Chains A and B, each alone.
Chain A
Amino acid sequence: MNTKDIVYIALFAALTAVLGLFPPLTLPVTGVPVTAQSLGPMLAGAILGARRGGLSIVLFLVLVAVGLPLLSGGRGGFGVMIGVTGGFIFGWAISAFVIGLLIEHFWNDLTVIKATLAIGFGGIVVLYAIGNAWVAVAADISYWQATVGAAPFLIGDAIKVAIAVAACLAVRRSYPLISKAR
């Protein structure tokens, strides 16, 4: 890993922190808050690739764990991370890694559909699998009940997948990084 890789990893960790500063939107009817921060793992994976993207989110999580208030709403510290929704926070690192793997795999002929598959699978299927399992254990409910409880958040995450797909394709045209690395 050369100096440039370390800088990419650090700057995407910083970018994820900055995305947490944007005020959350509240979805009409359901009242579910949607934060821009969870775009961070999607973008890190889709733009930096599996290894660098995953590590940049790990780095971000380390800084949250040591007590910096970098999560959206100024939250941070161990309490938030191992609380009820901790799986959705730890899951970000794995989500970024999986998105990176799939984007790298599709890189040479990346289309909107393939990018949506990659980011949707990593950013929703993988993330919710981990997050819901964590909620199920913490709240002593079944996996299915946890899945139903998480469903309202899907709308916000679907919007974020769409944004990440468009951003990933735009950056691939203007500033490709993954092909250079391979």
Chain B
Amino acid sequence: MIAGLYIDGTSPLHRAGAGIKILAMIALGTGVFLIPDWPVVTVILTTVLVFYPLCGFGPSVIWAQVKPIFWLLLIFFAVQLWLNDWQAGLLVIARVAAIVLFASLVTLTTKTSAMLASLERAMGPLRPLGVNPEKVSLAISMVLRFIPVIATVASEIRDAQRARGLDKSILAMVVPLLIRTLKMADDVADAIEARSFDPDETAS
């Protein structure tokens, strides 16, 4: 299994329901675009930042969230400074930083299992639209199971192609990986059907 990005803690945000946090995230993401006013957005960003120590996360956690977009934010600020003024630049970077930091906060304080459980609950009402929660759950558990399997297959193929002197060729890597994945999919589907799994037959 792959570990999620969750960091354990006991803060109110850790204990809040996954659904509420996701709704808050959507509200914040929409809000900062509806109010194109730099002092307001800066206040929102500061509020989001205050939540990090409240959840027990230090500056290194904040930096880890900002680092991947840091240069992009600097470029955006420079572009706005050149086209408009520094207030416009501040608005853009404060807006993006507030969204990214709050969204990361939701990810850091919510277990993957809690997230998946609220996803399954949210799918219930979609059943009339043709969404089948049993099928989605099957698919999700299969992805988690098969990532390590396919990663192993990929490294086997890499070794085999290295022995042939083909380790620089991406195509010599991708085609066998695809064929073996498809072959594996056929075997897995046969195995599931041999165990009488019928996703169209609802359990209750």
Q: Which residues of A are in contact with B by a Cβ distance under 8 Å? A: 1, 3-4, 6-15, 17-18, 21-22, 36, 39, 43, 47, 59-60, 62-63, 65-70, 73, 75-85, 137-141, 145, 149, 163, 166-167, 170-171, 174-175, 177
Contacts and interface: CB of A to CB of B under 8 A. Distances in A.
Interface of B: 2-6, 22, 25, 29, 33, 65, 68-69, 72-73, 75-76, 79-80, 83, 88, 91-92, 95-96, 99-101, 103-104, 106-108, 110-112, 115-116, 119, 135-136, 138-140, 142-144, 146-147, 149-151, 154, 170-171, 174-175, 177-179, 181-186, 188-189, 192-193, 197, 199
Nearest to B178: A171
Contacts, number: 187
A83 B96 contact: yes
A1 B174 CA distance: 27
Identify which of B2, B29, B95 gathers the most chain A CB atoms within 10 Å of its CB. B2
Given A67-B5, A163-B174, A77 B181 contact: no
Contacts of A137: 33
B142 A11 contact: yes
Given A4-B186, A78-B106, A84 B69 contact: yes
A10 B142 contact: yes
Nearest to A73: B68
A66 B116 contact: yes
Contact of A6 (B92, B101, B138, B181): B138
B140 A77 contact: no
A10 B146 contact: yes
Contacts of A82: 25, 29, 99-100, 103
Contacts of B69: 83-84
Contact of A15 (B65, B72, B177): B177
A3 B189 contact: yes
Contacts of A18: 147, 150-151, 154
Given A11-B146, A77-B104, A67 B177 contact: no
A165 to B, nearest CB: 10
